[in-house]
């Protein structure tokens, strides 16, 4: 092992070409051989730019104005193009966030894996094929021979990310840069891919620069953490120290923004439920051929659900589990194939009068605040629209109510009412979306991943605002989320969904502390926890040891197409 | 000078403004009567009396251009209006309702688009008759499919946006959603299409007149003035140059204005 660092960044400064805005401001850090270093920060912190600059892959609008980047003692910036190409791929590999777009859809897996190896090694074709097959076996692909001639769309997101990882690691680089490698994946798949990445890089003594917004995840896998805020490094050091004794206020803010469990609330479950779903079935029309009968795809298989007054019921599950379908069906945005919905004990149907009341009393907060607000309407107009259908409300009362509700979400009307959505940040937009949902004082709110698109610190603020408003207005809530940590903070009760069925339902504490169904345990085991030790420090731990569980119950990941499917 | 959106807007509106003023002026006043022949002053070169010269019948070119502007701009305006209103309505319905309505309309537009616009207009003119209103109807139908396609294409992604669902959750009717959320979000691309279409129609109208299928003489349009100038190209170049200049300047102005509008109407740059 070499004592000199593998990668050394000194006083690096990046600016936008047009307005000379600092994107990265005087940062310096080092990565030793075989070391796993995490860069943590929120969007706009410059973490991705830093990683790209190491490969000299910064976008053309960005230029380096000062600083040096040394890779293996050589200045990356001074490198002639030919040497730079040799460094990229052969010595430094990169894995991107989006597994759906980072593999070429028109090339077979075999050719994509071979590409790097052929370019950066002197092996014969036969030897390369042998190495490729070895690597495919190593990353857990069933039937590697066959997958050599398969195309990326034959594989699920998690599998594609594994293949991407395999393609990079085949060349045995000295440094792997992973930019949010698992952000687009489900929790369980994320854990599997990361474990694989750590194993592979440990085996080959490859250093890793792991870029992520997810502090517990980074803390779980790295030796060293670099915390970035607005282009600057605010704190760096060994992971254990950063987590246990954060010195910079921003690091402390990041840590305290992590969701935590509050005391359980007392919900009276003896009364009539606000919303009751019975045996809900939803089929999506399948595509049939000219002479083939349409094969419907069943998205929900008979769901039973009850939400009581003032209760927050969380719906959790991986992607494709049907949780959003269920939420939208209950909201009336999707038609159910069969089953009954009741509101306040009255059965509702599109045609009857109870439906009108339900339309008025049920509101929704959507995931993407950039898409849920009409870009052509000001904040006041957006809220007016929500109050438009309220009976017996004149313009004055409406505007008063708007001012009041804007105040409640922390955006005073004088300043914000006349703005257009694009003059607001993501967090502010979500506040408007929440204000819009509660402005009519609904009895029931459906929140579909309301904080998933937000940064960690903003997420904490929006979550506490949401909880506060929920207590204040006392509405019942169906809270849909894939993020168990968030659910643990807000939910009274939890329903776990898998493949269109609710597999387990119970109080929050019961689900989180004593899960009964194997899938719930699998889900819970996939998220690392940061917890306070008796000595006052903080450490990461898994909630459950997943490995032995998995062998016992023989569970595979939630993704139905996780393994190679149809060729 | 750097060419940016503001320069485009300035030059574009200046040119379009001049044409509009000319068209309005031509409707009420011209220096000489644009229709009455004056054989004493045939093919008079431009001077202080006849600013842009006279034609083979001694009619003042400047007056005819002013009067022609009224006809040409009027026809273009009416055509664009018809195509835009009808196309937008049908496009909204097709894009928002989908299903068989959409499929039927798409078949219809595909069939229309299969003909070159000019040929279609010629065929329609043969049916409805070669006069002012015939041109408006023929060109309106010929250009309707592109509006329909554009509006439908804009509506398709819009109807899946979350603010549409949000509005539905608030209990608003589909009609309300269509006119309050979907239509206003189509305005940007619609305005851009409308401006460039104005240019195409102006050109098409001129071409039809040039071919002798447009407004019948003696009423002048820029196109039939251009056509009439051909035999006298060598002796009286001004007869062709000035109407041609008017057509090209109008097109330039409209295109610049269209580009500038595209930038200004983008909702994502609003409020910043």
The predicted-structure confidence for A108-156, as pLDDT tens digits, reads as follows 888 888 888 888 888 888 899 999 998 888 888 888 888 888 888 888 8
Q: Which residues of B touch A (CB under 8 A)?
A: 161-163, 165-172, 180-181, 184-185, 267-272
Chain B residues in contact with A423 (beta carbon < 8 A): 271-272
Contact A359 B272 (CB under 8 A): no
Query: Tell me: the pLDDT tens digits for A59-76?
Result: 888 888 888 888 888 888
Chain A residues in contact with B271 (beta carbon < 8 A): 419-420, 422-423
In this predicted structure, the answer to whether residue A211 has a pLDDT above a threshold of 50 is yes
> What local confidence, expressed as pLDDT, does residue A475 receive?
92
Token pair 């939890």 is found at: A494
Q: Taken in order A472, A478, A480, A484, is the CA torsion positive or negative?
A: positive
Nearest residue of chain B to residue A334 (CA atoms): B165
The dihedral region occupied by A408, where left means phi > 0, alpha psi between -120 and 50, and beta the remainder, is alpha
Nearest residue of chain B to residue A328 (CA atoms): B165
The alpha carbon of residue B68 is apart from the nearest alpha carbon of chain A, in Å, by 39
Chain B residues in contact with A385 (beta carbon < 8 A): 167, 170, 172, 180
Question: How far apart are the C-alpha atoms of A258 and A261, rounded to whole Å?
Answer: 10
The alpha carbon of residue B69 is apart from the nearest alpha carbon of chain A, in Å, by 36
In this predicted structure, the answer to whether residue A556 has a pLDDT above a threshold of 50 is no
Question: How far apart are the C-alpha atoms of B270 and A375, rounded to whole Å?
Answer: 9
Low-confidence ranges of chain B (pLDDT < 50): 1-2, 270-272
> What local confidence, expressed as pLDDT, does residue A208 receive?
92
Query: Tell me: the pLDDT tens digits for B114-166?
Result: 888 778 888 888 888 777 888 888 889 888 999 999 999 999 999 888 899 98
The alpha carbon of residue B166 is apart from the nearest alpha carbon of chain A, in Å, by 7
**Minimum-distance CB partner of B168 among A333, A375, A419:** A333
> What local confidence, expressed as pLDDT, does residue A564 receive?
35
Contacts of A357 (CB under 8 A, 6+ apart): A343
Token pair 């940040």 is found at: A425
Query: Tell me: the pLDDT tens digits for A241-296?
Result: 888 888 899 988 888 888 877 788 888 788 888 899 988 998 887 665 566 666 77
pLDDT band at A380 (very low <50, low <70, confident <90, very high): very high
Nearest residue of chain B to residue A447 (CA atoms): B166
Chains A–B, number of C-beta pairs less than 8 Å apart? 69
Chain A residues in contact with B268 (beta carbon < 8 A): 375, 422
Backbone phi, then psi, for B55, in 5-degree steps?
-95, -165
Q: Which residues of A touch B (CB under 8 A)?
A: 328, 331-333, 356, 359-360, 362-364, 366-368, 371-376, 385-386, 388-389, 419-420, 422-423, 433, 436, 440
Closest listed residue to residue A364, CA positions, set A335, A391, A334, A328: A328
Read off the DSSP letter of residue B54. B
Burial zone of A460 (CB within 10 Å; 0-12 exposed, 13-18 middle, 19+ buried): buried
Chain B residues in contact with A356 (beta carbon < 8 A): 171
Within a 10 A sphere around the Cβ of B156, how many other Cβ atoms? Answer: 14
> What local confidence, expressed as pLDDT, does residue A543 receive?
65
> What local confidence, expressed as pLDDT, does residue B149 receive?
92
Could you tell me which residue, A307 or A59, shows the higher pLDDT? Answer: A307
The alpha carbon of residue A437 is apart from the nearest alpha carbon of chain B, in Å, by 9
In this predicted structure, the answer to whether residue A48 has a pLDDT above a threshold of 90 is no
Contact B172 A436 (CB under 8 A): no
Say if domain A7-40+58-256 classifies as CATH 3.50.50.60: no
Chain A residues in contact with B270 (beta carbon < 8 A): 375-376, 420, 422
Contacts of A222 (CB under 8 A, 6+ apart): A36, A37, A38, A208, A210, A239
Residue A62 forms beta bridges with which residues? Answer: A16
Closest listed residue to residue A469, CA positions, set A499, A498, A433, A503: A433
Query: Tell me: the pLDDT tens digits for A442-468?
Result: 999 999 988 888 888 888 899 999 999
| Topology of the domain covering B5-24+61-269 | MetI-like fold (1.10.3720)
Task: Return the percent helix, strand and coil in chain B, to nearest 5.
Answer: 75, 0, 25
Q: Which of A375, A432, A446 to mutate to test the interface with B (most CBs of B within 10 A)?
A: A375
Q: What is the mean pLDDT of chain A?
A: 84
Query: Tell me: the pLDDT tens digits for A313-363?
Result: 999 988 878 888 899 999 988 888 888 889 988 888 877 788 888 888 899
Chain A residues in contact with B172 (beta carbon < 8 A): 385, 388-389
The alpha carbon of residue A398 is apart from the nearest alpha carbon of chain B, in Å, by 15
Contact B171 A419 (CB under 8 A): no
* Single pTM value for the model: 0.80
Contact A362 B185 (CB under 8 A): no
> What local confidence, expressed as pLDDT, does residue B94 receive?
92
Closest listed residue to residue A532, CA positions, set A198, A130, A213, A255: A255
**Minimum-distance CB partner of B172 among A366, A375, A389:** A389
Contact A371 B184 (CB under 8 A): no
The CATH 3.40.50.300 domain(s) of chain A lie at: 7-40+58-256, 275-286+296-514
Residue A276 forms beta bridges with which residues? Answer: A306, A342
Cis amide bond preceding A75, omega within 30:
no
Contact A366 B166 (CB under 8 A): yes
Closest listed residue to residue A5, CA positions, set A156, A166, A209, A218: A209
Average pLDDT estimate for A7-25: 87
Query: Tell me: the pLDDT tens digits for A110-119?
Result: 888 888 888 8
Nearest residue of chain B to residue A357 (CA atoms): B171
Backbone phi, then psi, for A44, in 5-degree steps?
85, 5
**Minimum-distance CB partner of A389 among B162, B171, B268:** B171
Token pair 């306040």 is found at: A344
Question: How far apart are the C-alpha atoms of A460 and A11, rounded to whole Å?
Answer: 32
> What local confidence, expressed as pLDDT, does residue A535 receive?
57
CB of A317 closer than 8 Å to CB of A497: yes
Nearest residue of chain B to residue A373 (CA atoms): B163
> What local confidence, expressed as pLDDT, does residue A522 receive?
85
> What local confidence, expressed as pLDDT, does residue A493 receive?
92
**Minimum-distance CB partner of B184 among A359, A368, A376:** A376
Contacts of B28 (CB under 8 A, 6+ apart): none
CB of A343 closer than 8 Å to CB of A277: no
Q: What is the mean pLDDT of chain B?
A: 83
pLDDT band at A476 (very low <50, low <70, confident <90, very high): very high
Contact A333 B181 (CB under 8 A): no
Type and span of the H or E element at B93: helix B61-97
Contacts of A518 (CB under 8 A, 6+ apart): A549, A553, A555
Query: Tell me: the pLDDT tens digits for A184-207?
Result: 778 888 888 888 888 888 888 899
Query: Tell me: the pLDDT tens digits for A521-532?
Result: 888 888 777 766
Domain segments of chain B: what residues? 5-24+61-269
pLDDT band at A368 (very low <50, low <70, confident <90, very high): confident
> What local confidence, expressed as pLDDT, does residue B269 receive?
54
Contact A372 B166 (CB under 8 A): yes
Closest listed residue to residue B197, CA positions, set B244, B150, B245: B150
CB of A493 closer than 8 Å to CB of A507: yes
Backbone phi, then psi, for A540, in 5-degree steps?
-100, 145
The alpha carbon of residue B161 is apart from the nearest alpha carbon of chain A, in Å, by 6
> What local confidence, expressed as pLDDT, does residue A289 receive?
58
Could you tell me which residue, B131 or A516, shows the higher pLDDT? Answer: A516
pLDDT band at A560 (very low <50, low <70, confident <90, very high): very low
Burial zone of A198 (CB within 10 Å; 0-12 exposed, 13-18 middle, 19+ buried): middle
> What local confidence, expressed as pLDDT, does residue A539 receive?
61
> What local confidence, expressed as pLDDT, does residue A286 receive?
66
> What local confidence, expressed as pLDDT, does residue A532 receive?
60
Q: Which of B2, B163, B185, B269 to mutate to test the interface with A (most CBs of A within 10 A)?
A: B163
> What local confidence, expressed as pLDDT, does residue A558 receive?
40
Q: Which of A376, A432, A453 to mutate to test the interface with B (most CBs of B within 10 A)?
A: A376
Query: Tell me: the pLDDT tens digits for A391-440?
Result: 788 889 999 999 999 999 999 988 899 999 888 888 899 999 999 999 98
| Topology of the domain covering A275-286+296-514 | Rossmann fold (3.40.50)
R_g of chain B, CA atoms, integer Å: 22
Residue A68 forms beta bridges with which residues? Answer: A10
Q: Taken in order B244, B249, B250, B251, is the CA torsion positive or negative?
A: positive
């Amino acid at each position: 092992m070499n004592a000199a660092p593998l990668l050394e960044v000194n006083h690096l400064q990046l600016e936008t070409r047009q307005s000379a805005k600092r994107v990265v401001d005087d940062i310096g850090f080092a990565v030793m051989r075989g070391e796993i270093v995490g860069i943590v920060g929120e969007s706009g912190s410059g973490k991705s730019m830093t990683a790209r600059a190491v490969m000299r892959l910064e976008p053309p609008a960005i230029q380096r104005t000062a600083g040096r980047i040394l890779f293996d003692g050589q200045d990356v910036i001074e490198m002639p193009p030919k040497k730079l190409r040799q460094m990229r791929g052969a010595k430094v590999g990169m894995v991107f966030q989006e597994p759906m777009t980072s593999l070429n859809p028109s090339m077979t897996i075999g050719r994509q894996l071979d590409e790097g190896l052929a370019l950066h090694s002197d092996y014969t074709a036969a030897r390369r094929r042998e190495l490729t097959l070895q690597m495919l076996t190593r990353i857990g692909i069933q039937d590697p021979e066959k997958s050599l001639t398969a195309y990326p769309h034959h594989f699920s997101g998690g599998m594609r990310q594994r293949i991407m990882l395999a393609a990079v690691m085949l060349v045995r680089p000295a440094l792997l840069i992973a930019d949010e490698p698992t952000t687009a994946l489900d929790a369980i798949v994320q854990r599997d891919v990361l474990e694989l990445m750590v194993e592979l890089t440990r085996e080959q003594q490859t250093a890793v620069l792991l870029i992520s917004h997810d502090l517990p995840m980074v803390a779980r896998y790295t030796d060293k953490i670099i915390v970035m805020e607005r282009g600057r490094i605010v704190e760096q050091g060994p992971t254990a120290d950063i987590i246990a004794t954060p010195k910079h206020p921003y690091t402390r803010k990041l840590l305290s923004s992590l969701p935590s469990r509050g005391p359980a609330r007392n919900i009276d479950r003896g009364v009539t439920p606000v919303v009751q779903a019975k045996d809900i079935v939803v089929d999506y029309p399948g595509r049939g051929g000219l002479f083939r009968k349409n094969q419907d795809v069943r998205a929900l298989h008979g769901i039973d659900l009850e939400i009581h007054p003032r209760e927050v019921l969380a719906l959790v599950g991986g992607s494709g589990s049907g949780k959003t379908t269920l939420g939208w069906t209950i909201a009336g945005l999707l038609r159910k194939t069969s089953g009954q919905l009741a509101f306040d004990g009255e059965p509702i149907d599109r045609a009857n009068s109870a439906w009108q009341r339900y339309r008025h009393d049920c509101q929704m907060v959507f995931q993407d605040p950039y898409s849920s607000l009409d870009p052509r309407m000001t904040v006041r107009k957006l809220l007016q629209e929500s109050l438009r259908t309220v009976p017996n409300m004149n313009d004055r009362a409406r505007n008063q109510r708007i001012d009041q509700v804007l105040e409640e979400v922390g955006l005073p009307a004088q300043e914000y009412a006349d703005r257009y959505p694009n003059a607001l940040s993501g967090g502010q937009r979500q506040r408007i979306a929440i204000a819009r949902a509660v402005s009519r004082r609904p009895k029931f709110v459906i929140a579909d991943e309301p904080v998933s698109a937000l940064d960690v610190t903003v997420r904490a603020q929006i979550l506490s605002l949401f909880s506060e408003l929920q207590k204040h207005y006392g509405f019942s809530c169906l809270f849909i989320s894939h993020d168990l940590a968030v659910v643990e903070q807000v939910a009274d009760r939890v329903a776990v969904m898998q493949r269109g069925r609710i597999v387990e339902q119970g109080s929050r504490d019961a689900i989180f502390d004593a899960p009964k169904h194997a899938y719930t345990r699998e889900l819970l085991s996939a998220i690392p926890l940061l917890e306070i030790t008796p000595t006052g420090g903080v450490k990461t731990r898994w909630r459950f040891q997943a490995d032995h569980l998995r062998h016992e119950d023989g569970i595979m990941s939630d993704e139905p197409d996780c393994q190679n499917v149809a060729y | 000078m750097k060419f940016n959106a503001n320069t485009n807007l300035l030059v574009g509106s200046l040119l379009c403004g001049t044409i509009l003023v000319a068209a309005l002026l031509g409707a009420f006043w011209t220096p000489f009567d644009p229709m009455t022949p004056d054989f004493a002053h045939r093919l008079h070169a431009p001077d202080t009396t006849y600013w842009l010269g006279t034609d083979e019948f001694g009619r003042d070119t400047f007056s005819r251009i002013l009067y022609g502007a009224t006809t040409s701009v009027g026809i273009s305006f009416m055509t664009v209006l018809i195509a835009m209103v009808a196309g937008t309505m049908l496009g909204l319905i097709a894009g928002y309702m989908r299903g068989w309505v959409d499929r039927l309309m798409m078949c219809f537009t595909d069939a229309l688009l299969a003909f070159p616009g000019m040929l279609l207009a010629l065929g329609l003119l043969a049916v409805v008759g070669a006069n002012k209103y015939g041109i408006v109807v023929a060109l309106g139908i010929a250009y309707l499919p592109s509006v329909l396609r554009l509006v439908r294409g804009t509506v398709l992604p819009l109807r899946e946006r979350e603010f549409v669902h949000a509005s539905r959750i608030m209990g608003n009717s589909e009609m309300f959603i269509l006119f309050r959320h979907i239509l206003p979000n189509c305005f940007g691309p619609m305005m851009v299409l409308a401006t460039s279409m104005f240019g195409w129609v102006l050109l098409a109208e001129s071409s039809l007149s040039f071919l002798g299928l447009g407004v019948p003489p003696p009423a002048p349009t820029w196109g039939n003035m251009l056509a009439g100038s051909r035999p006298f190209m060598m002796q009286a170049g001004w007869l062709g140059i000035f109407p041609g200049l008017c057509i090209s300047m109008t097109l330039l102005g409209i295109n610049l204005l269209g580009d500038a509008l595209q930038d200004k109407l983008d909702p994502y740059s609003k409020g910043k």
